[in-house]
Chains A and B, each alone.
Chain A
């Protein structure tokens, strides 16, 4: 009986200590961003591995998500004789929710897990300690450029996802199912507000980019330096990122669109 409480207490202290390490890690990382800006080559290299390599999966997923929205939306809306509202439905769901959320989850799976594995392996093979031995700060040299690259790439990827999704919806709705082209765009433009919908969607993706980069880099840096530890850290990155994205999405939506 007492053991249950002992374990509970231990795990509570364990997670609190981890949270504390994560906060300090974030502060050090942010502190190193100034140095990164002085050496844009480091950032560019990471933008390539984080952003450019995620480009394809994000575009293709965006296209298919938009096409499915067009198809499903068409079947539901024709029941009400409102097939012309298809543009509004596709654009609103993409820009407000699916664009930021789905691209952030894909980003966590594609780029976040790679970051964790890379950092974790660097730690396991003592490359990070080696750098410290050479008086190179591994946080400034390794972590901060990756963090900044993720932070910049995420909003761009989310915008790309939404834009390609709208095109996919247009392709299915207008080209294949014969919704009126003019009504598709004009109803969309009349309903989607730049500040309320687009800017809020961008804010969401910025927050997700921050959180996913933070989680994946921290999990890698905090990994147990064995092959098992790295594999567990990679799993935790994907799981924790997905949880945080979906939870934060609810909070942000409630703040932006609700009157809470």
Chain B
């Protein structure tokens, strides 16, 4: 019943392969690789319609991801969609008159929040719990198609 050295090596190889596969899955397949454990701050924006925006959808400036959507709730008073976003702490120099819009990646792709840096007239920056007031809502494809057909029939 004595085990041999070859068996030791093969078992070691097997366990190593299993652990490497787990790391491969974690880093290459899942989003763990681009998780940033660093500090972040939360800003919010009220949209008339947040469309199919989801928690964890990306928030980007000029196409670079700077954070993620952390919560989407309905504001009870204005009946608008209140979107909270967690922004990486290192991007603390966004002017407080920046605008936020919800765009779609591609025609049918996922929704994301794009922040367009403002001129920074007040000289202040977005801080924790800041609210972006200059917003434009998600473009709902059905509405656009509806409008398009309405215009077309009216034009004729």
Identify which of residues 167-210 in chain A touch chain B, using a CB-to-CB cut-off of 8 Å.
Answer: 185, 188-194, 197-198, 202
Shortest CB distance B82–A (Å) = 23
Q: Are B14 and A166 in contact (CB under 8 A)?
A: no
Q: For the complex, is A217 an interface residue (Cβ under 8 Å from B)?
A: no
Q: For the complex, is B15 an interface residue (Cβ under 8 Å from A)?
A: yes
Interface of B is mostly: helix
Contact of B31 among A48, A51, A163, A192 (CB under 8 A): A192
Contact of A194 among B3, B19, B21, B32 (CB under 8 A): B32
Interface of A is mostly: helix
- Chain A residues near B2 (CB, 8 Å)? 41
CA distance A197 to B3 in the complex (A): 37
Contact of A51 among B14, B22, B25, B34 (CB under 8 A): B14
Shortest CB distance B32–A (Å) = 4
Q: Are B22 and A159 in contact (CB under 8 A)?
A: yes
Look across to chain A and name the residue whose beta carbon is closest to the beta carbon of B56. A193
Tally of contact residues, A, Cβ under 8 A: 33
Q: For the complex, is A131 an interface residue (Cβ under 8 Å from B)?
A: no
With A156-B17, A157-B18 given, name 4 new contacts (CB 8 A). Answer: A51-B11, A162-B21, A189-B29, A190-B58
Which residues does B use to contact A, with CB under 8 Å?
1-3, 7-8, 10-11, 13-15, 17-22, 24-26, 28-35, 56, 58, 108, 110
Which residues does A use to contact B, with CB under 8 Å?
41, 44-45, 47-48, 51-52, 55, 81-82, 91, 95, 153, 155-157, 159-160, 162-164, 166, 185, 188-194, 197-198, 202
